[in-house]
Amino acid sequence: MVEKARRVAQAHSASVAKAHDAGVKIAMGTDAGVGAHGENLEEIELMAANGMSTAHALRAATSTAAQLIEEPCLGNLERGATADLVLLQGDLHREGVTQLRGRVRGVWQAGERVR
């Protein structure tokens, strides 16, 4: 089972990289049964590790995801938006998107701080 999981992971990584290189819009999401809620920041790190730039990986978790599910009030910081956000320490564009869980400084949902 472990070997099969490794093969699938390698194939998945390759397909994500090919899709990104081909210009396919990629969004971060959850199957809600695969991993615990609140633990999905690692997906951004995995996208960057598979060839996406920091900017593309961050957009996959925000604006691109909102575009693909056709939710204009999500994924951006504009007047009238829902205002769900995660505040991270550091300059992600300069430092990259590694160890994101350790960089969380606050979480807001619908404009209210929840962490």
Task: Note the Cα 101 to chain centre separation in Å.
Answer: 12
Task: Let me know the angle formed at the C-alpha of 23 by 18 and 26, rounded to the nearest 5 degrees.
Answer: 80
Q: What is the pLDDT of residue 32?
A: 59
Low-confidence ranges of the chain (pLDDT < 50): none
The amino acid sitting at 83 is A
CA distances 111 to 50, 56, 58, 62, 83, Å, are 32, 24, 20, 16, 5
CB 83 within 8 A of CB 62: no
Buried b (16+ CB within 10 A) or exposed e, 10-30: eeeeeebeeebeeeeebbbee
Q: What is the pLDDT of residue 25?
A: 92
pLDDT tens digits for range 67-89: 898 888 888 888 888 878 888 89
Q: What is the pLDDT of residue 31?
A: 64
